[in-house]
Structure 1
Amino acid sequence: MEYFVKNRLVRYVLSFVGIGCCASGLSQEMSVPTQLRCDLLLQTDYQSAYGFVVPTEWKVAQSGKHECVRILTQTPSFGWNISSDEPEVMQTAYQILVASTEDGLKENLGDVWDSGKVISAQSSGILYGGKPLAGDRLYFWKVRIWNGNQVESAYSDAAVFLTDKNLQKHATARYPLQKQQEMPVCVRNVKDNTWVADFGKAAFCGQLYLTLSSDSDRDTVVVHTGEANTPEGTVNRKPGGSIRYCRYRLPLRSGTHTYQIQFRHDGGSIKMPSYIGEVVPFRYVELENYGGNAEQALLVRNAVYYPYNEKASYFESSDSILNQVWDLCKYSVKATSFTGQFIDGDRERLPYEGDNYIGQLTAYCVDDEYNLPRYSHEYSITHPTWPTEWIQISVMTAWLDYLYTGDLRSIRYYYEDLKAKCLMDFETENGLIIVSGTDKQKNPQVMAKIHHKRSIEDIVDWPITERDGYVVDNSCKSVINAYYYRDLVLMSNIAEALGYVDDVTFYKKKAAHVKKSFQQVFWDRKNKRYRDSDKTEHASLHANVFSLVFGLVNEKDKASVMEYIRSKGMACSVYVAQFLLEAVYGAEDGNYGLSLMNSTGDRSWYNMIREGSTVSMEAWGNKYKPNQDWNHIWGAAPGNIIMRELIGVKPVLPGWNRFQIKPQLGELEWAKAKVPTIKGAVTVKYSQAGTTFSMEVKIPGNTEAEVILPARKDKNRVSINGKQVKARLKEGKLFLPVLRSGIYQIVLN
C-alpha cells in the first residue's frame, strides 16, 4: 500500500495542480504550517518538576532535574497542520529544515537536514532523512509548504526537540506524567465533627494535603477517602468489589498546620515513577472527629494524569442522557491515563489488549494525542496477556495506529510480531483455527513467536456470566475465527502499506478461504444466524455480533442477522458492547444504536452514573461483577462510537488524507461535535426537523471529506453554501461531491 498510497498522493497533488486556477483558496497566500509534531508529539518542549508543569529550561532538563520529553529513536517523524477557513487549501510540496542551533535555523540553514522541496501532500509521518542524530542533543526545526499554484508559505515557527542519551531503532516517546492541584467542588458538615469534601469526580491522586487547626496536641482526626459515598453523605466504608476506600489516622499538633496523607502502595503490575509516588483513586474525603472548620481551600489533592487537552473535543446533543454518557467516557480517558498507558483498572493495574482497543479508539476521539495509545499497543505486543482474542486484537490496534497517524514506523518494526499474532500456527485442515486446549500450545517455538510462556485461553466475553450462554470448550469457535478473519484482512492492508506485494496476495487468499470455511461451519441456514462453534447449535449474541462487525456476513443475510442481534438486546459485557455498537451502526441502524447508548436500564452507561461512578466501570453495575472496579477504560465505548458512528467522522485513508462524514443521528433533533484529527479538528453541527436535514461542517486544510447522508424518500434536493448540487443516490444514501478545506452549510430536503 505504500507504493499505492504514494502514487495516490502524487495523483492527489497533480489533481490540485490542474484545478489551481479554479480554486479560490489556491490563488491566495498559503497558510503557514502550525501545530508542529515530532514523533507525533505536539509539545516536545514540555517539562515538569515532580509532575508539575514548569517553564522550559533545557540545561536543567538535561541535568535530570526536570522531567522532559526525549525523542528516543534514530529516525523521528515530523508532521504539521494547515489551518485555514479558505476553501480548497491543499499542500503539494514541503521543505523541512533541521538545525543544530537556533541561530542557524533563523538563517534558514538546515545543517543537520535540509529535505529540499519534496513534491508530496504528506503532512504527517514524514521520516527524518538527515545526518545521524547525536544523543542528548537539542535540535531545532521548521517547515514551509507549497500549494497547487506553487505559492509557498512562510516558514513555520521553530520547534525544538531533545534526543535521548541512547537512541534506538524504534521506540515511542511519551510526555512525563502530570500532577494537577484540585480542590473540592463543595465541603459539607454532614454531622457533628464530621466534614465531607466532594471533588466532583474521582481521580488517581498522589498526595492529599489538609490544612487543619487544633487547640491541643491530643486531637486525632480520622481521614477517609473513597470513590463511593453513602445515602447519608459520608464516605462508604464498605463499598464492595474493588471500589476503593482508605482510612488514615492523623494526629494533630496544636495550632494550624498542613498535613500530607501518605498513600499506601496497593500493588499492581505497572509501577508509578518516583517523581509521582503512589496513587489511589478517590472522589470523596471525610474528616471524622474534626471540630474545626474545613473550607474548600484547606483541602487539596494532587491528581495524576497523562497530559491531556480538554479543548481538543466536545459533543452535545438534544439528548441529556447521551450528553452525560459522553462526558463520562471522555473523562474516563483522562482519569485512567495515570500510568502513562492503558491498564485494566486499579485492582490489577495490568495492561490488557482488550482495554487497549477501546481505550485507543476513545482516546483518538477525545484528544489529539497519539503516543499513549501507541505505547500501550506496543507494550502489549511483547507483554501479552492470557486471552486468545487479546493476542489477535494487537493486529487491530496496529492498523488503527497507522490509520489515525499515517506513521508507518510501528507496523514496519513489529511486522513479524503482527504476523504471529494472527495465530496462523493454530490453523486446522479447513483453514479455521482452534487455540484453547491444543497441543500446539506446548510448542515453545510457537508460543515464543507471540512472546508467551504460558497457555492462552479463549475468553469470548468477561465476566463469564456475560457470554449469553456461549458454549466455551475446546471446539472451533466462531468468535475466535471472526477475529482471525479480521486479522488476515488487516494484515493484507498492512502488507500493502509496507510494499510487501507477495504478502498482500497471501493474506487476501487466506482471508477468502477462511471466510468460505466460516460460512460452512458456523452458518445456521435454517435459522439464519451464526452458531457458537462447530459442536453446538447454540447461537449467542456474540457469535453474530463478531461475524457481522468483522465482515463475514453475506449481504443477503445481514437483515436476518441484525434482526437476531436486536432481539438479544445488551446481552453482553461493556467490552463486547463496543463491537455490538460497531455492528449496529455498520448496519446503518442509528435508531437502535442510539437506544443502546441512551438507555437508562441496568445494563447501560447511565447506570454507571446512577450508581455513583464518574469514570467508566468494569461492568454494567456492581451486581454484574462483584469484584469490579470503578475506573476501567474498557467501559468507555460510547466515547468513540458517538464520534465515529453517530456523528460519523472517521478516517478513510491513513493519516486522515481522506475521511468520512456519515451522520446517523437516529431520533436526535440536533447534535454538534469537535472531532480531533492529526490534520486538525473537524467541527460539525447537525439538525433535523421533518423532511429537512441541515449541517455545518468545518474541514481543516490538506484533507478531503466524503459526505454521505441518508436519503429522504425518492426525491432529494441538496445544497452546499446555498447552491444546489448533484448527489449520487445509492442504496438509500446520498454521496455528495468531495469537500476540501473550508466551512460548508449543507441542506438536504
Structure 2
Amino acid sequence: MKKYLCLAILIVYSALIHAQNNIEQVSLKTSLMKPHEVIKISEGHYLIDFGRAFFGTVQIKSKKSQSEPISFHLGEKLENPNKIDRNPGGTIRYSNAVLETLSEGELTTVSLVPDKRNTTGAAILLPENVGTIIPFRYCEIENLKIPIEAIEIWQKAVHYKFNDDASSFSSSNAVLDSILDLCKHTIKATSFTGYYVDGDRERIPYEADAYINQLSHYSVDNEYTMARRTNEYFIENPTWPTEWLLHTVLMFYVDYMYTGDLEPLKRHYENLKLKTLMELEGADGLISSKSPNLNKDLVKRLGFKKTGTRIRDIIDWPGARKDTGWKVATPEGERDGYEIVATNTVVNAFYYHNLKLMAEIAGFLNYKEDVVFFQNKAANTKKAINEKFLDKSKGIYIDGVGSSHSSLHGNMLPLAFDLVPKEHLKTVTKFIKSRGMACSVYGSQYLLEGLYKNNEALYASQLITDTIGDRNWWNMIKVGSTMAMEAWDMKYKPNSDWNHAWGTAPLNIVTRYMWGIKPKTPGFKVAEIKPQLGDLTFSKIKVPTLNGAIYAEYKIDEKKDAIYKIELPDNMEAEFVLPDGASKVVLNNKKIKKRKTSLALKSGTNIIKLKY
C-alpha cells in the first residue's frame, strides 16, 4: 500500500511540475496574417514579407496539387532585399523546412525543427498541438511548380489574448510614434507562451524582464492574467541575479495598483518579505550578496531547487568582456565601468525601494506594526546609502563601499528611487546626462524614470527618440527588427535576440511618465495624470484600465496655449498635475483663481487650457 501511495504522490508531483512549465491551451490564440508583399525572385522562387515578425509557422492552402518537394525558409532577417539571411548570427532566428507534397484543397501547416535549448529544461513548454514555432517575418519558397496565384499562404501567429484596440498613441513626432508601435507589437508578439519570458533563446521568465514587460503590457491592455501567472511562477522559481530577485515585490505592487485585488498580496506576503533580501542586511542597514547569511537554508526558502545556487550581483546585462569572454564593442559591458563591490549602490537602491513598497503593502493589508517596521528600516537604509555611497564633495554617488568610481548606474538608480538629497539633485542629474545611454535596454527603464521624475523630461524624450548612432530604439527599426531587441545592437551582446520585451521601456515610460497616466489609488479608482510632453505640439493617447479607457488629447493652439482634453470612464476621478509655468489655468471654461499645483477631474470630459 505504501508503495502505491508513493507512486501516486510521484505522479501528482510530476504533473504539477509539468503544469508549471506549460499553460492552458485555451489561453493561446492563433491569428492568420496575410502577406504584406510577395516578390518573385525567379521561376518557382518567391520571397514573402508578412510585414512583422510573430512567433509561429506558415500555413498554406492550394487550388492545385504538387508532388515535388517545396522548400520553405523562415527568418527574422534579410541578407539582401530578396534573400533571408541563413546565418543571421546571435539568436536571430532562421529555419528551413521541406514539404514533400502539396495536396489540393488541404490546409497544411509547415512543421519546423524544435530548438533544444528553448524546448527543454526550465523553458516554458508549449501545448503539443501548437507544435514548433519560431519568430519570423519572412518566408522564402523554392521549387514551387504551380502558379503562386494558386496558393494562399499565411503567417500562423501564436500569441496570448490581446486587445489591439485597448490602447493607442499618436503625436507630432513620427519617430516616437514608430518606436511605440514597435514596442506595442513586441508586447503582443512575445506573449506566445502565456508567461513573460526573456525571449526566444531561452523562453524562461526572469524577474527584471518580466517587470518591464508587465509595465508595458498594463499600459496597452487591461488583461492581467498573464502577469499574475508569471508573478506566481517567481514565488517558486526565482532567478539568480540579486537585483532580479529584488524585482519581485515591484511586480506584485504594480499588479495591486492596477487591479485593486489584494488576494495575491495576502497569499504571498511572507514570501514578498523574504524576497526583499532583508536577511542579508548588516548592522549598517545595507545588504550584500556576500553576506554570511546567504546560506543554503535561505537559498532554499527563497525558492531555489538547488541549495548550491549562487546569488550574485549583475548590475546590468550584458556583463563586461572579462565576465563573458565576448569581443564586445564596449569591453566594460553595459555597466558604464561599474565596480561591483560587496556592498554596492545599485543593489542597495533596489533594497531601499523594496522596503518602501513593503511599507505600503503592509498598509494595504492593515498590518500596522509592519508598516512602522518597514518605514523605519527604509529610513535607516536611505541614511546609510547617502552616508556610505554619496561623495558629498562631488555631489554624486560612487559604486559602493571601497570604490572610488562613479557610474551612470550608481547614480540613475538612486535618482529613480528618490534617494538623492535635494541639495545634490542638480549634480547627480548633471552627471547622469554626461553619460548618455551608457546602459542596456533594461537599464534604460530606470534612467528614463529618474529623469522624468526630476524635471528632465526634454532630455529623456530626446533619448527615446534619438536617431544618431546605434544605442537607441531607432537602431532596432533601422536594422530591420519589428520587435524590441535584447541589446542596442548585436555588437554589444553577440548572442542576443530580436524579440525581447525588456526593450519596451519607451511604451510604459511614455504612458506613465511623458503622459503621466498612472493609478493614484489601487484599482485606478483615482488616476494621476502628470503630463510632461516636452516639445510635442500634439498628442493623443488611449490608456486601458480595469474601469475603462482613459482618453487624453493635447495640442498647442494658434495662440500658443496648451489645451488638454481628458475623458475619464464612469466611476473614476483623476488628479491632473499642472505643468510648471502656466500664468492662467482654465478648467471647463472656468478660470481657476487660486494658484494650484493640481486639478481634480471628474468622470466624463474635462477640458484644461493653460496660458503661458
TM-score normalised to structure 1 length: 0.73
Q: Which residue of 1 aligns with 2:568?
A: 699
**1:270 Cα offset (Å):** 0.5
| Counterpart AA for 1:358 | I
* C-alpha contact 1:187 1:295 (8 A) present in aligned 2: no
1:175 Cα deviation from its structure 2 partner: 5.9
What SS class does the counterpart of residue 148 from structure 2 fall into?
A: coil
Counterpart secondary structure, 1:643:
helix
**Aligned letter for 1:687?**
K
1:649 counterpart = 2:521: no
Residue 260 of structure 1 is aligned with which of 101, 109, 113? 109
**Residue 203 of structure 1 pairs with residue 58 of structure 2:** no
Q: Distance in 2 between matches of 1:603 and 1:381?
A: 34
Of residues 624-633 and 290-299 in structure 1, the stretch that sits farther from structure 2 once superposed is 290-299
2:340 maps to 1:477 = no
Q: Distance in 1 between matches of 2:139 and 2:31?
A: 17
Which residue in 2 is equivalent to 1:459? 314
Letter in 2 for 1:544: N
- What 5-or-longer segments of structure 2 have no aligned partner? 1-22, 320-332
Provide the C-alpha distance between the structure 1 equivalents of 2:104 and 2:29, rounded to a whole number of angstroms. Answer: 33
Distance 2:279 2:484 in 1: 36
Residue 192 and residue 548 in structure 1: after superposition, are their counterparts in 2 closer, same or farther (change >3 A)?
A: same
Amino acid at match of 1:522: F
Equivalent pair of 1:427/1:434 in contact (CA under 8 Å): yes
One of 447, 464, 469 as aligned partner of 2:299: 447
What are the superposed Cα offsets for residues 230-289 of structure 1, whole Å, 9 maximum, x if unpaired?
223211111111000001123336878654311222232100012322221111000123
Change (3 A) 1:417 1:206: farther
Matched with 2:546 is 678
Give the aligned partner of residue 532 of structure 1. 399
Structure 2: which amino acid aligns with 1:232?
P
Relative to structure 1, the CA distance from residue 256 to residue 375 in structure 2 (aligned partners, 3 Å threshold; closer, same or farther) is closer
Q: Distance in 2 between the 1:444 and 1:402 partners?
A: 32
Give the structure 1 partner of residue 70 of structure 2: 221
Letter matched to residue 603 of structure 2? S
Say whether 1:507 aligns with 2:374: yes
Q: Is the CA contact (8 Å cut-off) linking 2:343 and 2:400 kept in structure 1?
A: yes
The alignment-based identity, stated in percent, is: 41
How far is 1:323 from its partner? 0.2
Q: Secondary structure at the match of 2:603?
A: strand
Asked whether the equivalents of residues 175 and 306 of structure 1 are also in contact (C-alpha less than 8 Å), the reply is no
**Contact 1:183/1:297 (CA < 8 Å) preserved in 2?**
no
What does residue 623 of structure 1 align with?
491
Q: Distance in 1 between matches of 2:224 and 2:392?
A: 44
RMSD of aligned residue pairs (Cα, Å): 1.9
The equivalent residue for 2:39 is 188
- Give the secondary-structure state (helix, strand or coil) at the position aligned to 2:192: coil
Q: Please state how far the C-alpha of 1:179 moved relative to its aligned partner.
A: 1.0
Residue in 1 that maps onto 2:324:
none
- Which runs of structure 2 are paired with 1:279-290 in the superposition (5 Å)? 279-290=133-144
**Mapped pair 1:411 → 2:411:** no
Q: Structure 2: which amino acid aligns with 1:735?
A: S
Bigger Cα Rg: 1
Aligned amino acid, residue 500 of structure 2: H
Q: CA deviation at 1:649?
A: 0.8
Instruction: Report the secondary structure of 1:726's partner residue.
Output: coil
User: How far did 1:297 drift?
Assistant: 5.8
The answer for the alignment partner of 1:580 in structure 2 is: 447
CA deviation map 1:82-140 (0-9, x unaligned): xxxxxxxxxxxxxxxxxxxxxxxxxxxxxxxxxxxxxxxxxxxxxxxxxxxxxxxxxxx
CA distance in 1, matches of 2:286, 2:363: 24
Alpha-carbon deviations, 1:314-342, whole Å to 9, x = none?
A: 00000000000010111111000000010
> In the alignment, is the contact (CA less than 8 A) between 1:728 and 1:735 conserved in 2?
no
- Residue matched to 1:709: 578
Q: Deviations over 1:523-557 (max 9, x none)?
A: 01121101111111111100101011111111121
> Structure 1 residues 469 and 672, CA, compared in 2 at 3 Å: closer, same or farther?
same
Task: Give me the whole-angstrom Cα distance separating, in 1, the residues matched to 2:539 and 2:150.
Answer: 36
2:156 corresponds, among 299, 302, 311, to: 302
What is the correspondence of 1:167-182 to structure 2 with a 5 Å cutoff?
176-182=27-33
SS of alignment partner, residue 78 of structure 2: coil
- 1:213 is displaced (CA, Å) by 4.9
Unaligned runs of 5+ in 1: 1-171
Looking at structure 2, the residues matched to 308 and 529 of structure 1 have their Cα atoms a distance apart, in angstroms, of 43
Matched residue type, 2:392: R
- Given candidates 491, 494, 516, the residue that maps to 2:358 is 491
Alignment of 1:38-77 (within 5 A): none
Q: Write the distance in 1 (CA, Å) between the matches of 2:506 and 2:80.
A: 29
Look up the SS of the partner of 1:230 in the other structure. strand
Structure with greater strand percent:
1
2:33 aligned partner, one-letter code: E
- Judging changes above 3 Å, is the alpha-carbon distance between structure 1 residues 256 and 419 closer, same or farther for their aligned structure 2 residues? closer
Displacement of 1:614 after TM fit? 0.6
Check conservation: 1:186, 1:296, Cα contact below 8 A. no
Q: C-alpha displacement at 1:703, in angstroms?
A: 1.9
Partner of 1:23: none
Verify the 8 A CA contact 2:61 2:105 in the aligned structure 1: no
C-alpha displacement of 1:624? 1.4
1:553 aligned to 2:420? yes
Query: Is contact 2:63–2:150 with CA below 8 Å preserved after alignment?
Result: no
The change in CA–CA distance for 1:523 and 1:594 in structure 2 (over 3 A counts) is same
Q: Deviations over 1:632-670 (max 9, x none)?
A: 110011110111111111111111121111111111111
CA distance 1:296–1:199, shift in 2 (3 Å): farther
Distance across 2 between alignment mates of 1:233 and 1:532: 49
Distance 1:595 1:277 in 2: 43
Task: State the Cα distance separating 1:745 from its structure 2 match.
Answer: 1.4
Structure 2 counterpart of 1:742, from 594, 599, 604:
604
Residue number among 420, 423, 426 corresponding to 2:274 in the alignment: 420
- What amino acid maps onto 1:265 in structure 2? P
Aligned CA distance change for structure 1 residues 188 and 598 (closer, same or farther; 3 Å): same
Contact kept? 1:174, 1:372, Cα under 8 Å: no
The AA in structure 1 aligned to 2:293 is: K
CA distance in 2, matches of 1:458, 1:422: 14
Task: State the distance in 2 between where 1:696 and 1:253 align.
Answer: 56
Could you say which structure has the higher helix fraction?
Answer: 2
State how many pairs are aligned.
Answer: 566
Q: Is the 8 A contact 2:58 2:153 kept in 1?
A: no
1:639 and 1:174 map into 2 onto residues whose CA distance is 29
**Would the aligned equivalents of 2:472 and 2:488 in 1 still touch at CA under 8 Å?**
yes
Provide TM-score, normalisation by structure 2. 0.89
Q: Structure 2 vs 1, CA of residues 727 and 639 (structure 1 numbering), >3 Å: closer, same or farther?
A: farther
1:185–1:296 CA contact under 8 A, matched in 2: no
Tell me the equivalent position of 1:292.
146
Deviates more, 1:346-355 or 1:184-193: 184-193
Q: In the aligned structure 1, how far is the partner of 2:436 from the partner of 2:174?
A: 22
Contact 1:531 1:537 (C-alpha < 8 Å) held by counterparts: yes
Instruction: Please give the per-residue CA displacement for 1:136-179, whole angstroms capped at 9, x wherever unaligned.
Output: xxxxxxxxxxxxxxxxxxxxxxxxxxxxxxxxxxxx99961111
Please report how far the alpha carbon of residue 449 of structure 1 lies from its aligned counterpart in structure 2 after TM superposition: 2.1
Deviation at 1:590, TM superposition (A): 1.4
Alignment of 1:60-209 (within 5 A): 176-205=27-56, 208-209=59-60
Cα distance 1:528–1:300, how it changes in 2: closer, same or farther (>3 A)? same
CA distance in 1, matches of 2:513, 2:231: 23
Q: Return closer, same or farther for 1:312/1:425 CA change in 2, 3 Å cut-off.
A: same
Q: Which amino acid aligns with 1:701?
A: D
Q: Letter of the aligned partner of 1:220 in structure 2?
A: P
Q: CA shift at 1:725, angstroms?
A: 1.8
2:441/2:487 contact within 8 Å kept: yes
Match of 1:236 among 85, 95, 106: 85
Give the superposition deviation at 1:622. 1.5
Alignment of 1:391-406 (within 5 A): 391-406=245-260
- Structure 1 position 193, deviation (Å): 2.9
